[in-house]
């Protein structure tokens, strides 16, 4: 059964125009005037945009002694409710575990997904096996992005020698390096000092991770990536110090991308000083929320192009889970939700305020992500032949965000009480209408894994340049005799 989206205005990363969109077999078949299909979806007064892609989620993730509460079913349902049609989750090997075994666990969890998804592979330890597995993961699994945690000392953190070895391997294989950039050694020292001084509450989490730890690690990762010759994607860029390092690198022609989160763009550090322990702990994540100057820097980065995409780092823990850190802030599970709210919050605080154009909104929530991760134009595009992952966006629809009406499994919402303007009228996942005016009709298990090849055009360009400028001996005609 074909469907046609009629009377809407198509908004892509670079064009705005009136046309109908014909869909069949899960794909866009035709774009043009006066199209007809078996079923009509009315987009009068709406924008027809590529569905959002969230490049950074943690669904049912084992972390800090527990599991994040949204799994692939509730997480992707929340995504669709907010206009996001693809999520990219991180597969995390245990210490000593092969990358392929970790992927098996993620394969099992993701069978319930309501929308399409892909995985990033995390490198949480280093050894011969990881070195070998990286090739298999890239070549047989269609995963080209590998994340490294420079924080969480004693758990997920890798050191500089491991970082350099892994980045070099990725350079050889045509992959992309990702980093959680915070100096884990300094965070551990600051945390111990704060606890010893009696700073045990959630506010101390923010004190233990100042912008300097993020700026330093971001700069270090950029320099190591440059030496290894690999493109670098910096996740959850939250402050000017990290943004400055990314901005500078990009100005120098380095292949680096920065990913601010909707939380850092719209919520600030005052949340941690709330007198209600639960309120503050629910917002504990790494890096922590920052002040308004840092927020302005992130918005400016999106406007100028020095920052490329907006994610959520959706990693939702219930209040009960957060309470395991009462009396010791280092035990509060790190992470916040946002999958359902990223698109409406970014539209409200970005497009409605004039900070972003609708086209820039599409770029940072979808198209740039698909291009960087190498699944464009299957995803992130309104083009004939692309997957029909689409959102029919009503710019006049309003709602007040609240835990009481959200899809996420947790019992609160960090954006509670925020009024948003701009919401999906329809969300389509490969042609299936999963959301219609707030009514959900998801199909559990509908989501498919999206393979992403290595050796993108950007990898090829970077390796060509690196090869051209690599050290080589100077050919000399006359070599003086030694000992003269
Ligand atoms: O606090 C956070 N960000 N939790 C999720 C894991 C990570 O660091 O991305
Ligand atoms: Zn992280
Ligand atoms: Zn994360
Ligand atoms: Zn708001």
Q: What does 439-476 look like in DSSP terms, one character per residue?
A: EE---TT---B----SS-HHHHHHHHHHHHTS--PPP-
Atom 8, ligand 1: residue with shortest CA distance: 286
Contact (CB, 8 A) for 313 and 261:
yes
Mutation to probe ligand 1, out of 313, 314, 317, 336 (largest number of atoms < 8 A from CB): 313
Mutation to probe ligand 1, out of 68, 209, 283, 315 (largest number of atoms < 8 A from CB): 315
d(CA 18, CA 131): 50
**Is 80 exceeded by the pLDDT of residue 211?**
yes
pLDDT at 482: 84
ipTM of the complex: 0.96
| 175-200: pLDDT as tens digits | 999 999 999 999 999 999 999 999 99
pLDDT at 478: 86
Mean pLDDT of the chain: 97
pLDDT at 137: 98
List the domain range (segments joined by +) for residue 82.
51-382+396-420
d(CA 45, CA 436): 15
Residue-level length of the chain: 484
**Is 70 exceeded by the pLDDT of residue 99?**
yes
Question: Distance from the CA of 45 to the center of ligand 4, in angstroms?
Answer: 23
Residue 191: inside a domain: yes
d(CA 144, CA 455): 8
Fill in the DSSP letter of residue 347.
I
**Is 80 exceeded by the pLDDT of residue 312?**
yes
Q: Radius of gyration over alpha carbons of the chain, in Å? A: 23
| 448-467: pLDDT as tens digits | 999 999 999 999 999 999 99
d(CA 376, CA 6): 24
Residue 244: inside a domain: yes
Region 333-357: mean pLDDT is 98
Confidence of residue 168 (pLDDT cuts 50, 70, 90): very high
d(CA 156, CA 179): 12
Phi-psi region of 304 (alpha: psi -120 to 50; beta: other; left: phi over 0): alpha
d(CA 206, CA 39): 51
Confidence of residue 481 (pLDDT cuts 50, 70, 90): confident
| 394-451: pLDDT as tens digits | 999 999 999 999 999 999 999 999 999 999 999 999 999 999 999 999 999 999 999 9
Residue 288: inside a domain: yes
pLDDT at 204: 98
Q: For 162-171, 281-290, 401-410, 473-482, which range has the lowest pLDDT when averaged over its residues?
A: 473-482
Nearest to 372 by CA among 309, 460, 448: 309
Atom 9, ligand 1: residue with shortest CA distance: 313
Pairing mode, strands 256-258 and 390-400 = unpaired
Triad 213, 216, 217: Cα angle to 5°: 85
Could you tell me how far CA 170 lies from the centroid of its own chain? 20
Phi-psi region of 66 (alpha: psi -120 to 50; beta: other; left: phi over 0): beta
Residue 52, token pair as written in the block: 């959002």
**Is 70 exceeded by the pLDDT of residue 484?**
no
d(CA 73, CA 195): 38
Residue 103: give its domain's CATH number: 3.20.20.140
Residue 388: inside a domain: no
Region 279-290: mean pLDDT is 98
Region 323-337: mean pLDDT is 98
Confidence of residue 105 (pLDDT cuts 50, 70, 90): very high
* Count of domains forming the chain: 1
**Is 70 exceeded by the pLDDT of residue 368?**
yes
* Residues 6 or more apart in contact with residue 24 via CB below 8 angstroms: 1, 2, 3, 37, 431
Atom 4, ligand 1: residue with shortest CA distance: 335
Question: Distance from the CA of 303 to the center of ligand 3, in angstroms?
Answer: 24
Residue 366: inside a domain: yes
pLDDT at 44: 98
pLDDT at 445: 98
Confidence of residue 479 (pLDDT cuts 50, 70, 90): confident
| 118-146: pLDDT as tens digits | 999 999 999 999 999 999 999 999 999 99
pLDDT at 293: 98
- Which residues approach ligand 1 with their CB closer than 6 A? 58, 180, 236, 285-286, 313, 315, 334-335
**Is 90 exceeded by the pLDDT of residue 483?**
no
């Amino acid at each position: 059964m074909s469907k046609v989206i009629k009377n809407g205005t198509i908004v892509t990363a670079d064009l705005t125009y009136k046309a109908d969109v014909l869909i069949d077999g899960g794909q866009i078949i035709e774009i043009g005037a006066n199209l007809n299909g078996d079923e009509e979806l009315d987009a009068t007064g709406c924008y027809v945009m590529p569905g959002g892609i969230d490049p950074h989620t943690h669904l049912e993730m084992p972390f800090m002694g527990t599991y994040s509460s949204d799994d692939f079913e509730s997480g992707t349902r929340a995504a669709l409710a907010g206009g996001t049609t693809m999520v990219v989750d991180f597969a995390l090997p245990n210490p000593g575990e092969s990358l392929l075994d970790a992927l098996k666990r993620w394969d099992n969890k993701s069978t319930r997904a309501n929308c399409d998804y892909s995985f990033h592979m995390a490198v949480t330890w280093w050894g011969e096996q990881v070195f070998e597995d990286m090739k298999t993961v890239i070549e047989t699994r269609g995963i080209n992005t590998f994340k490294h945690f420079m924080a969480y000392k004693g758990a997920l953190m890798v050191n500089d020698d491991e970082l350099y070895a892994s980045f070099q391997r990725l350079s050889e294989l045509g992959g992309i390096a990702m980093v959680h950039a915070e100096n884990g050694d300094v965070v551990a020292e600051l945390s111990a000092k704060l606890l010893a001084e009696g700073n045990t509450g959630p506010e101390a989490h923010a004190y233990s991770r100042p912008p300097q730890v993020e700026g330093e690690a971001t700069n270090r990762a950029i320099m190591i990536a440059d030496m290894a010759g690999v493109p670098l994607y910096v996740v959850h860029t939250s402050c000017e110090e990290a943004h400055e390092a990314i901005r500078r690198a990009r100005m120098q022609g380095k292949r680096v991308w920065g990913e601010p989160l909707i939380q850092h763009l719209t919520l600030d550090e005052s949340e941690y000083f709330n007198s209600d322990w639960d309120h503050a702990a629910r917002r504990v994540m790494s890096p922590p929320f920052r002040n308004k100057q840092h927020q302005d820097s992130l918005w400016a980065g999106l406007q100028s192009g020095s920052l490329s995409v907006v994610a959520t780092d959706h990693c939702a823990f219930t209040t009960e889970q957060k309470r395991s850190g009462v009396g010791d802030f280092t035990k509060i599970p790190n992470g916040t939700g946002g999958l359902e709210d990223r698109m409406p919050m970014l539209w409200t605080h970005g497009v409605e305020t004039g900070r972003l154009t609708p086209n820039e909104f599409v770029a940072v929530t979808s198209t740039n992500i698909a291009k960087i991760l190498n699944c464009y134009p299957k995803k992130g595009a309104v083009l004939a032949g692309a997957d029909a992952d689409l959102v029919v966006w009503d710019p006049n629809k309003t709602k007040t965000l609240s835990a009481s009406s959200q899809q996420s499994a947790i019992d609160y919402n960090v954006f509670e009480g925020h009024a948003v303007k701009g919401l999906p009228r329809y969300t389509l996942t490969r042609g299936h209408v999963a959301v219609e005016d707030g009514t959900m009709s998801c199909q559990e298990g509908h989501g498919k894994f999206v393979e992403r090849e290595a050796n993108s055009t950007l990898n090829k360009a970077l390796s060509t340049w690196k090869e051209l400028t690599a050290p080589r001996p100077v050919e000399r005609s006359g070599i003086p005799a030694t000992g003269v």
